[in-house]
Structure 1
Amino acid sequence: MSDIEQIALDVARRFTEDDDAQRRAQLQVAVVEAIRAGQAPFPVVDLLDIRNQLHVMATTVVPELPRPGRRAAGSGAGPDQRPPPRTSGATLVSLPYENSTSGNNAINDIQKMLRSFGCQRFATGEDYETGELFIQFERRGRQVQLKASARGYAAAWLREHPYGPRVRATRADHEAKALKIGGVAVYSILRDWVKGQVTAIEIGMLTFEAAFLSHILLPSGQTVIEYAQQQKLLPQEVARE
């Protein structure tokens, strides 16, 4: 048994029950395929890195946004964000990144960051039907695709700023404003997420494969996470009581 196959078996054992042989075998095959999917052979990835990555594979690119009435920790303004206006008395709670002012600046920051990291073929685009923005880049023959939903952010913004009598605009204009804010904010979110991943790689906390495994494109055109979800290889979420 090769090192990669042994790693895949160890990971499958950790995430499946002993009596579920079929799911264990499917997960083992998926991990092997994910590691070998790149055009260049993957180095043997540390088991701990893969195990940690599998814990977050089911999450989206966009960090979890706070629920109404809550503010995320460390949500200070970035270089292209305006600080929220000061108010006397009551504390103003704002949605992280809602004051971002330039999506183009964030895109340029991402491109410079990835280029200095040794990445090639950087591209961005938008799916107008789904409202998703995406970033693609290549490093050493491995293509990575990151997605973020402007509509998802707009929905969160509308929960924080619901339409009401005090809004001096029509409902349609208010919703259009939310989508416009989301289209700028998600690029700043992607920039900060990529910066965190690249920094973790540079300081030895993660390998490239562990940091971007779920977003690596397979020959089928799917990302690793999309393939895993389609094949139902991830453990089912347990509903909270």
Structure 2
Amino acid sequence: MSRYAENTSVSVENSRGEIERTLQRYGAESFGYGWEAGRAVVQFVTQDRHIRFVLPLPDKNDRAYTHTPGKGLVRTEADAYKAWEQACRQRWRALALAIKAKLEAVEAGITTYEDEFMAHIVLPDGSTFGAWARPQIAEVYATGSMPSLLALEAGS
């Protein structure tokens, strides 16, 4: 199975701009982005919620970019950069699609805003709800028992 937009020619900048325009169209109050080695971050505020998506970016030194797939031949620096850049474009297109699909599903009444964005809601300590909840979900499945209501209240 091929990856969504694996051969896209849409630049990272154009995908990011599309995300910003989509958020504006659906009523976002603010938008920001940033990047560092290995990840990009898109943040916005809408419906009184701060939302953060962390987009993992590929490692430029990964063999998938430095070598020709299936042949193992070392790529030139320029060809390795082009392969890495293509992977970045693919990820940004996927993020643009995901955000647009979530907003449209909410707009169409298929789901709610909080259900669609729950994992990405930024909590008062700066973490996301997903990062906070994942270990708890794993624990519930591992033990087979739900936490008590008092334990939930004590943790809030």
Q: Same fold by TM-score, threshold 0.5 exceeded?
A: yes
Helix, strand or coil for the counterpart of 2:58? helix
Amino acid aligned to 1:132: R
Helix, strand or coil for the counterpart of 2:31? strand
Q: 1:154–1:112: structure 2 CA closer, same or farther, 3 Å change rule? A: farther
User: Which ranges of structure 1 fall in alignment gaps of 5 or more residues?
Assistant: 1-69, 76-95
Helix, strand or coil for the counterpart of 1:98? coil
Deviation at 1:181, TM superposition (A): 2.0
Q: 1:193–1:154: structure 2 CA closer, same or farther, 3 Å change rule? A: farther
Distance 1:138 1:184 in 2: 24
The match for 2:2 is: 71
- Root mean square deviation, CA, Å: 3.1
Q: 2:85 aligns with which of 180, 188, 192?
A: 180
The match for 1:104 is: 13
The reply on whether 1:219 has 2:150 as its aligned counterpart is: no
Q: What whole-Å deviation, never above 9, does each CA across 1:56-87 have from its counterpart, x for those lacking one?
A: xxxxxxxxxxxxxx335xx4xxxxxxxxxxxx
The match for 1:118 is: 27
Deviation at 1:105, TM superposition (A): 1.3
Q: 2:97 aligns with which of 187, 192, 207?
A: 192
Distance 1:178 1:212 in 2: 31
List structure 1 segments (4+ residues) > 4 angstroms apart after TM superposition. Answer: 152-158, 172-175
In terms of fraction of residues, the more strand-rich structure is: 2
Amino acid aligned to 1:102: S
Q: 1:235 aligns with which of 114, 117, 138?
A: 138
Deviation at 1:138, TM superposition (A): 0.1
The match for 1:137 is: 44
The match for 2:108 is: 203
TM-score normalised by the chain length of structure 2: 0.74
Deviation at 1:110, TM superposition (A): 1.0
Distance 2:96 2:137 in 1: 27
Helix, strand or coil for the counterpart of 2:22? helix
Distance 2:121 2:32 in 1: 15
The match for 1:6 is: none
Q: What whole-Å deviation, never above 9, does each CA across 1:64-121 have from its counterpart, x for those lacking one?
A: xxxxxx335xx4xxxxxxxxxxxxxxxxxxxx43333311111111111111111011
Amino acid aligned to 2:55: A
In terms of fraction of residues, the more helix-rich structure is: 2
Distance 2:107 2:130 in 1: 24
The match for 1:147 is: 54
Helix, strand or coil for the counterpart of 1:133? strand
The question of whether the paired residues in 2 share the 8 Å contact of 1:132 and 1:149 is answered with: yes
Q: 1:71–1:183: structure 2 CA closer, same or farther, 3 Å change rule? A: closer
The match for 1:47 is: none
Of structures 1 and 2, the larger Rg is shown by 1
Distance 1:199 1:152 in 2: 32
> Paired residues, what number?
141
The match for 1:14 is: none
The question of whether the paired residues in 2 share the 8 Å contact of 1:143 and 1:216 is answered with: yes
TM-score normalised by the chain length of structure 1: 0.50
User: Which ranges of structure 2 fall in alignment gaps of 5 or more residues?
Assistant: 143-156
